[in-house]
């Protein structure tokens, strides 16, 4: 059994890790930390976990954590970069669900995250944990930067078009809609049911932290810097991201886009290209480590529309983290990740 | 008092007309029709109207309706075109909330609505009831085609850019999100709470009936045919449309977009340009005849993003219809339309 | 015009007062206070009020407030009792939407609200602002204690049975369901959309502050102390209270309960007894100052079930406060309160 | 592997069976039927099941079904009673998720379900599939009548009190709240998002079909006929039942109710008695085969309040059906039922 530690277990990605790992056949959570909830039993905070875990939250401590085989950081940015390097030195594999190691250009990172990066070597060594792009590097990695939720949905949707250089890389538009759990479990007014249900709004139109991350991934795939307009929206639901991705075909000839998408993801266990003409619903992946995609070319014009849906807490966070762990420990990639999306 | 008739009063736009007209100081509903609910008291079907109306639904009948000063059609397409011409001939003003008279090119209309148009002269004479564009023609009109909900939000958001020829008219992208009430009160599985809550999806990406309507309006404003990609999404809320509109500036010079928007709508009682940097929420117009707009230019690049929100049942349907009535009967344009958006 | 001041205008009852008073024909808000938001324009905090108010929040100050004819306190408990007596002395009428003056027995008050009461004389003089019980006293009052939301729904539902001594006053059960806005606009985790949507729970079963208030009102009506079990539930919606009230008939003879309810409320503008067999929906009163009631006797057994619905922010708070103001200033009782419930 | 057939697989209990059985280690779905969807692939109707099932819906046929070891009926009442007896004769075990075999008194059954019962012998032989009461009989049974959703929540909550004869059996009040999925996937107006979200209502107060079922079970436990008032409510959420159960203690002595509940369910894998003072949330069991219960005695008076929550589609339907299957086939009772409730 892989011995697992979780730093920062009280937020939504933390409890989702616990939900998924509760039924993982080859991993077991040994340590879970939270400064604010020290001594509280997990199941007292999250009654859905009653009967599954006897653990209490403890204060994060490198010595204790270093007895684990792998440590997940489900923390705000700035935490993992302080502890991860030492754990890695002690031979522990680290999977960061936060943002500390996602951006390779640390000046860009500092600009968007508003602090100095204190672990540049770790940042340089970290592997971006999108298995559909970096599976082989993940296999050998000791430090994984799990992609953000929007970046997962957007990159998986754009990759076949970008890799095949089919669309104008300077004019990408990603109109993305997220459930409220993307804002985390913090007690802020904007996430109250009375403020965020029965309403829709865009936010962070002038700039959102996931913008440089998506650009970095797509620029690598395009082998040149891409131009991207990214508009996130807050949607009145708990879970789910719906990315609506626009691109302009370079060449107005016929392309079998459907076939191209199907082939790109033919061997991917967690990316499902829907039949031509489909409209994926976020609920079809609710609770599941799955990305569902369809590709459209309305009116046979030169604009391509890709629809890409994930559960932000699963394929957009905790599920993808477990998928990375499975790859790193040479377990079946789907171990512990066979949940079916909950419909209705 | 303006004597009002309503044909097709059982759907959501019908009951919303009743809600608004209940407090209209200068109009009174005299007749309301429904074939299926003949003899039923309004208040038995819509308990929110108990104590406000004593009317019963009657079978639609031109003689009875012709005693009204104005008749609203809150009917599926194909109904108004059969009855409206006769009513107009009898001197009754007609306001159609449906789609029968929205599209001037009747071949296009037939292609999208799947039937022959039986009243081409009326269609030619009808005035498109978007007061922010056609106020003077509305004042003289006898037959009004009320805009659809998406077209209202999209046109009001794009107009300042298009009229000033600031953006590339061939590459418009309207990514629109609608509450479920846009699908009407019909008992279809897709609109069940269990199917449409806690989920988001695009629909009709290959083509939606509001596409030709938006193109018609924007092409007129642009004085040339526009190219538009329109992707509607079903959002888990009852009311509200959020249009996220993308355009590419022709010229990368500085434009004071904020000022341009403010000036365009300075005298419009029902269009509110928010301060620079704002993100309008649909709930701020819930129940109100209001469109709220903000304009962004992320990263000072050449892509403009306009955010435009309405309540699809009010400014997108019943409220706009009453606004048209007010203009036609020379009443204060805001009469009966002073509801404040309901927050929370 | 009645000059209105509002203390504590940033919460949900405050903004709801503003929404209702925006269209009140004979009242005008002159002052609105908030310590935390001093200098902020109302419309910047609540964009639904853009174009309706030019006011800014100011720090609460007795001198400024005393220029008003009436001051509403939309504050947490403990605030009104400090300022209200001085305002009343200066001839200002005060309507407290909070809990400071609701309970006559100040020992009971202190026990439930956890502080000493500092204005016992004002508490003794205050009139409980339930117009359906105390209309004549309200007319003469200078200080009104507006009922809580649950107490409004529960008392209006029980009154006909209790006043007529039809049910066992020792065995009342009030199973009540409230929307999340009842918890206010405070940033607490339990009110997040992700915590409170897609779920139902009871809370405060061992005891809730509205218990002594309901008991006080029903005991007065019963002319003896009642026994009451009160279980509130948090329901995944913004607005609305549904009280399901149980009572045991003293005498198994036939009673025309329907007629008794209709007669009790025959002249009440804001209480609507539905036809026999009805099930009122909270949405039928959404945004409206209305209580809808139906009475059942399942299986013709000796248990009576009363269903009573209100909008907690309107008839359960701000609307009832305006109704009290109308009575106190001899205005038409329905002035500014003619909103129709929003369906859908 | 247990070979499974499902009759009526298109409704919500059908798709939930498929979700649960997709990961069951010792059962496999071989046949799934639907008259209306013959030839449709499961995954085309329910995209969450893409990649999990290759099956198509077929027309129900006894010969085909008789090759299964067990057949689940996820059908409206009246269907199972026609086919189940023949299947049982052929040696197939039958588990009916519908209502055909729940009520032993067939006159009562006919009165509530509005048809003659055509399989009285099967009805007499059927075992009521509430494992917490009938585990041993289930083990030997060939025909199981799975309990309804409300009856599961209500009986599990009342049983410790009733079996110990602690409360007045003549005065039970079950105030129950259900998510909308309880109404099924039928396209009826009342279940539309626009009709059922943002609202709460009671329904069927004069009488609901689950009333005689709950009374039958509680009367058996009480060893005398109980008196029950049962009021179901429609709650704006997809899944979940919250039963609030009231009883009057016969004897005002001290009882350790908490201990009594804990002992009653000490060995039950799917009933979780929460710590004293708890308020279970329906979301803690969302997607899980779990019942969570807490017991209160407010103010130490003689009224007991039990809070009991389940997911109506899991412990209230499909999960309980699988639990019955596991018992009948001597599998571990938790096989395939280890899903953790989804929070958030």
Average pLDDT, 10 consecutive residues per value, chain C (344 residues):
96 97 98 95 96 96 97 97 97 98 98 97 98 98 98 98 97 98 95 98 98 98 98 98 97 90 98 98 98 97 97 98 98 98 96
Check residue C253 and give its pLDDT: 84
* Pick among 3.30.1490.190, 3.40.50.2300, 3.40.250.10, 3.30.360.10: CATH of A150-311: 3.30.360.10
Domain at C150-312: CATH code:
3.30.360.10
D12, D193, D236 member nearest B196 (Cβ)? D193
Interface of B with A in 139-198 (CB under 8 A): 171, 173, 175, 177, 179, 194-195, 197-198
pLDDT at D63 over 90: yes
Is residue D255 scored above 90 in pLDDT? no
pLDDT along chain A (344 residues), means of 10: 96 97 98 95 96 96 97 97 97 98 98 97 98 98 98 98 97 98 95 98 98 98 98 98 97 90 98 98 98 97 97 98 98 98 97
Residues shown for chain D = 344
Of residues D252 and C153, more confidence is placed in C153
The answer to whether D2-125 and D150-312 have equal CATH topology is no
Domain ranges of chain C: 2-125, 150-312
Model confidence pLDDT, tens digit, residues A247-283: 999 997 888 999 999 999 999 999 999 999 999 999 9
User: What per-residue confidence (pLDDT) applies to D34?
Assistant: 94
Indicate if the pLDDT at residue B112 is higher than 90.
yes
For B183, name the nearest residue in chain D, comparing CA atoms only.
Answer: D194
Strand-by-strand arrangement of the D143-145 sheet: D27-33, D2-7, D70-73, D93-96, D143-145, D127-128
- C-beta atoms of A49 and D22 within 8 A: no
Contacts of D338 in chain A (CB under 8 A): 22-23
Name residues 248-267 of chain C within 8 A of A (Cβ).
none
> Which of C16, C23, C46, C47 to probe the B interface (max B CBs under 10 A)?
C47
Best of B21, B318, B340 to substitute, by most chain C Cβ atoms within 10 angstroms, is B340
pLDDT the model gives residue C102: 98
Query: Which residues on chain D are in Cβ contact (under 8 Å) with B191?
Result: 192-194
Q: Please, what is the average pLDDT of chain B?
A: 97
Dihedral, CA of residue C49, residue C50, residue C54 and residue C56, to nearest 10: 70
- Contact partners of C by the rule of 3+ C-beta pairs under 8 A? A, B, D
Report chain D residues whose CB lies below 8 A from the CB of B342: none
Least CB–CB distance from D189: residue in B180, B187, B195: B187
Distance from CA of B194 to the nearest CA of D (A): 5
Map tokens 């159609």 to a residue: B96
The domain A2-125: what is its CATH number? 3.40.50.720
DSSP structure string for D20-75: HHTT-TTEEEEEEE-STTTT-BHHHH-GGGTTT---B-B---HHHHTTSSEEEE-S
Q: In a 3-state reduction of DSSP, which class is residue B150?
A: helix
CA–CA min distance B169, chain A (Å): 14
Residue D254 confidence (pLDDT): 80
Is the CB of D193 less than 8 angstroms away from the CB of B192? yes
pLDDT value at B4 more than 90: yes
* A304 within 8 A of A247, measured Cβ to Cβ: yes
Contact assignment for D338 to A23 by CB distance below 8 Å: yes
C-beta separation of B58 from B24 below 8 A: no
HEC profile for chain A?
Answer: CEEEEEECCCCHHHHHHHHHHCCCCCEEEEEEECCCCCCCEHHHHCHHHCCCCCCECECCCHHHHCCCCEEEECCCCCCHHHHHHHHHHCCCEEEECCCCCCCCCHHHHHHHHCCCCCCHHHHHHCEECCHHHHHHHHHHCCEEECCCHHHHHHHHHHHHHHHCCCECCCCEEEEEEECHHHHCCCCCHHHEHHHHCCCCEECCCCCCCHHHHHHHHHHHHHCCCCCEEEEEEECCCCCCEEEEEEEEECCCCCCCHHHHHHHHCCCCCCEEECCCCCCCCHHHHCCCCCEEEEEECHHHCCEEEEEEEECCCHHHHHHHHHHHHHHHCCCCCCCCCCCCCCCC
Q: Which residues of B touch A303 (CB under 8 A)?
A: 171, 173, 229
Would the pLDDT of B134 be above 90?
A: yes
Catalogue the active-site residues of C. Answer: 149
Q: How many helices (H) and strands (E) does chain B have?
A: 12, 13
- Taking an 8 Å cut-off on Cβ atoms, the answer to whether A193 and C198 are in contact is no
List chain A residues with CB under 8 Å of B227.
301
Looking at the complex, report in whole angstroms how far the Cα of residue B253 sits from the nearest Cα belonging to chain C: 31
Any idea which residues of B carry the catalytic annotation? 149
Predicted-assembly ipTM surpassing the 0.95 threshold: yes
Mean pLDDT of chain D: 97
Q: Do C50 and B238 touch (CB under 8 A)?
A: no
User: For A54-110, what is each residue's pLDDT tens digit?
Assistant: 999 999 999 999 999 999 999 999 999 999 999 999 999 999 999 999 999 999 999
Q: Cβ distance C186 to C194 under 8 Å?
A: no
Q: How confident is the model at residue D279 (pLDDT cuts 50, 70, 90)?
A: very high
Question: pLDDT per residue over B157-198, tens digit each?
Answer: 999 999 999 999 999 999 999 999 999 999 999 999 999 999
C41 touching chain B per CB within 8 A: no
Token pair 């012998």 in the structure block, residue: D121
Contact D22 A52 (CB under 8 A): no
């Amino acid at each position: 059994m892989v011995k697992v530690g979780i730093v920062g277990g009280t937020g939504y990605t933390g409890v989702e890790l616990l939900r998924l790992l509760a039924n993982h056949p080859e991993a077991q959570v040994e340590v879970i930390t939270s400064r604010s909830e020290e001594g509280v039993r997990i199941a007292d905070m999250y009654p859905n976990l009653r009967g599954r875990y006897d653990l209490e939250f403890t204060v994060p401590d490198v010595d204790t954590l270093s007895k684990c085989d792998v440590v997940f950081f489900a923390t705000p940015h700035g935490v993992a970069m302080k502890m991860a390097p030492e754990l890695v030195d002690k031979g522990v594999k680290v999977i960061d669900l936060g943002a500390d190691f996602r951006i390779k250009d640390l000046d860009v990172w500092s600009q968007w995250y508003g602090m100095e990066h204190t672990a540049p070597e770790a940042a340089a060594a970290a592997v971006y944990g999108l298995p559909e792009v970096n599976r082989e590097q993940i296999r050998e990695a000791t430090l994984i930067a799990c992609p953000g939720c929007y970046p997962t949905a957007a990159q998986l949707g754009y990759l076949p078009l970008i890799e095949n250089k089919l669309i104008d890389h300077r004019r990408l538009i990603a109109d993305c809609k997220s459930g409220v759990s993307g804002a985390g479990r913090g007690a802020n007014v904007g996430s109250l049911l009375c403020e965020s249900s029965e309403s829709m709004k865009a936010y962070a139109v002038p700039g959102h932290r996931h913008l440089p991350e998506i650009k970095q991934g797509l620029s690598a795939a395009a082998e040149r810097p891409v131009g991207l307009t990214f508009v996130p929206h807050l949607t009145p639901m708990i879970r789910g991201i719906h990315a609506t991705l626009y691109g302009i075909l370079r060449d107005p000839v016929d392309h079998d886009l459907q076939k191209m998408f199907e082939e790109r993801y033919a061997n991917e266990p967690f990316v499902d290209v829907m039949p031509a003409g489909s409209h994926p619903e976020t609920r079809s992946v609710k609770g599941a480590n799955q990305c569902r995609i369809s590709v459209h070319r309305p009116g046979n014009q030169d604009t391509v529309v890709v629809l890409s849906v994930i559960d932000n807490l699963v394929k957009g966070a905790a599920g993808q983290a477990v998928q990375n762990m499975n790859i790193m420990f040479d377990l079946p990639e789907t171990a512990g990740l066979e949940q079916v999306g909950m419909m209705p």
